[in-house]
Every structure is written in structure tokens, then in C-alpha cells.
Structure 1
Amino acid sequence: MRNVVLGVANTVAAIGFVLFASIVWSAALPLAIGLFLGSLLGPRIVRRAPQTALRRGIALAGLGLAVYLAVEAYG
């Protein structure tokens, strides 16, 4: 039930964006492809990857993103 409600909410939000926001459609297609590939490949990789290495990789990616965003924001 939760997934159905979230799916409906996301569908309504997507329709709202399409109708009321300016969308860069040339960026939407690569994002959609990445979304679908990630949803197919992500669970398979997570199940097989060693958890410690996966957690460290996620932590490093998050730290790298934080540093990047800080440099962009503060110079």
C-alpha cells in the first residue's frame, strides 16, 4: 500500500512539473535512462558487493559531494 501511495504521489508531482515548470527535456532523457538502469542494476550490485566496502564507498562519495558543494558555494 505504501508503494502505491508513493507511486501516485510521484506521478502527480511529475505531471505538475510537466504542466507548470520549465523542463530541460534534453537532460530529462539521460536522467530517465540512468533512473531505470540504476533501478535494475543497483539491487543486484548491492546484494553481491561486500557490505564494508560498499559502506565505505558510499561514505567517500557523500564526503566528496559535500566538499564539492562547499567549494561551489563558498569559493
Structure 2
Amino acid sequence: NGVNYGLGASIFTKDVNTALRFAQQIESGNAMINWSPLWRADLMPYGGFKGSGIGKEGPRYAVEEMTELKTVAFHGL
């Protein structure tokens, strides 16, 4: 947490409480327990916190990053 970037982080532990505390407190886009911090599935958001990147990757998240939502309401024409 004491760095400028936060793309991914991992911890290797057998203690579930340590793993949960790590996942809650780490300032990174991915928190992996007993796995490489660079693993991802396409349906998961992939991107960092702080100075890591400019948004999230992954089909749904990439579309959200490249578009702006707008509400348009018609009331009679």
C-alpha cells in the first residue's frame, strides 16, 4: 500500500482470516489468494488503483470506460 501503483497483489497463506484481511486492506485492482497477482478471467474487471493504468479492461468494463452514459427521456412527441 505504500507505493504509487496498485495493479495486482497476492498473498500465500493457509489462514482464511489473514487472506480476508489482506483482500479488504490491499490497495490494488486485483487481490489474489494463493495465486499469481497477474491471473485474470476475461469476465473480471482488470485494472489497477492509484497510478496503474487509466481504467478497467474486460469486455463489459472496457465498454464502460470507452463510453459515457446518458439518460434521454421522451415525454410525448
Q: TM-score, normalised by structure 2?
A: 0.22
Identify which of structures 1 and 2 has the higher relative contact order when contacts are C-alpha pairs closer than 8 Å and 6+ apart: 2
Structure ranking higher in helix proportion: 1
Structure ranking higher in strand proportion: 2
Q: TM-score, normalised by structure 1?
A: 0.23
